[in-house]
C-alpha cells in the first residue's frame, strides 16, 4: 500500500475547486492534485524510487505583470515580494511523480540518482504568497525522464481533454491513486 505524501490529509479536498486535477485554469487544465499544507510540512516518497532531479526552480508565486521587454513573459510586480517554489521528479516502479511547489531545502541525501524508500522524507512544502501546497503530478512512462512540461500539447494517452494540460502525453490523473494511499504511521 502506498504512503500518502503528507503527514495528514488536507482539510480542503484535492478533489474540488482549483485544487482538483483537470480544473479549468483559462489557458490550460490543471495537471495535478494540489494538497494544501502549511509551509515546511514534510513530504514523503509515496513508494520506493529514484530521484531523477532534486529541487529546481518550478514556479514563482506572487502578483505578476507583463514583461516590458517581452510581452509573452511575465515578471514579478515591482515592489512586491514573489516567492520561488521548486519541484523534483522521482521515478517509482510504475510511474513518475513530480512533487511540485516544494521548498528549495531538502534532506541532504536527496540528490539526483538517490534511491528513496516509501515513506522517506524527501522534501518540504514551499512557502507561497497565497496558498502553500504540494502540487502532485503523475506520469505513466517511467522510461521517459524528460522534463514534464510540454506547452500546448493536446495528445494524451490516458484521456481526451478539450484543452491542453501543457504536460507530456503520459500525464495521469492522480486522484484515485492518492485516495488509495495510507497515512505514514506516527512514531
pLDDT in tens, 165-176: 999 999 999 999
Cβ within 8 Å of residue 24, ≥6 positions away: 30, 163
With 0-12 / 13-18 / 19 or more C-beta atoms within 10 angstroms meaning exposed / middle / buried, residue 126 is buried
Instruction: Please state whether beta strands 49-61 and 121-124 pair in parallel, antiparallel, or not at all (unpaired).
Output: unpaired
The CA distance from 95 to 3, in Å, is: 15
The CA distance from 136 to 30, in Å, is: 11
The CA distance from 114 to 15, in Å, is: 31
Residue in 4, 17, 30 with CA at minimum distance from that of residue 178: 4
* The three grid cell numbers given for residue 63, joined into one nine-digit string: 502578483
CATH 1.10.3720.10 fits 17-177, yes or no: no
pLDDT per position as a tens digit, 14-24: 999 999 999 99
Global pTM reads: 0.89
State the pLDDT at residue 68: 66
118 near 154, Cβ under 8 Å? no
Tell me the mean pLDDT in the region 69-95. 76
**3-state secondary structure at position 122:** strand
State the pLDDT at residue 149: 86
First-to-last alpha carbon distance for the chain, in angstroms, is: 18
DSSP 67-108: ETTEEEEEEEPTTS--EEEEEEEEEESS-EEEEEEE-S---T
The answer on pLDDT for 110 being more than 70 is: yes
State the pLDDT at residue 99: 98
Amino acid at each position: 500500500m502506498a504512503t500518502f505524501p503528507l503527514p495528514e490529509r488536507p482539510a480542503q479536498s484535492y478533489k474540488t475547486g482549483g485544487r482538483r486535477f483537470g480544473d479549468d485554469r483559462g489557458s490550460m487544465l490543471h495537471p495535478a492534485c494540489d494538497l494544501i499544507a502549511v509551509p515546511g510540512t514534510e513530504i514523503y516518497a509515496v513508494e520506493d524510487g529514484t530521484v531523477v532531479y532534486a529541487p529546481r526552480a518550478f514556479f514563482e508565486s506572487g502578483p505578476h505583470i507583463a514583461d516590458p521587454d517581452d510581452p509573452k513573459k511575465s515578471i514579478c510586480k515591482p515592489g512586491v515580494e514573489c516567492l520561488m517554489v521548486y519541484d523534483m521528479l522521482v521515478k517509482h516502479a510504475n510511474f513518475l511523480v513530480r512533487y511540485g511547489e516544494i521548498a528549495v531545502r531538502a534532506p541532504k541525501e536527496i540528490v539526483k540518482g538517490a534511491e528513496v524508500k516509501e515513506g522517506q522524507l524527501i522534501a518540504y512544502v514551499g512557502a507561497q504568497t497565497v496558498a502553500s501546497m504540494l502540487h502532485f503530478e503523475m506520469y505513466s512512462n517511467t522510461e521517459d525522464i524528460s522534463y514534464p512540461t510540454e506547452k500546448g500539447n493536446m495528445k494524451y494517452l490516458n484521456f481526451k481533454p478539450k484543452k491542453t494540460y501543457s504536460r507530456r502525453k503520459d500525464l495521469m490523473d492522480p486522484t484515485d491513486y492518492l485516495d488509495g494511499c495510507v497515512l505514514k504511521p506516527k512514531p
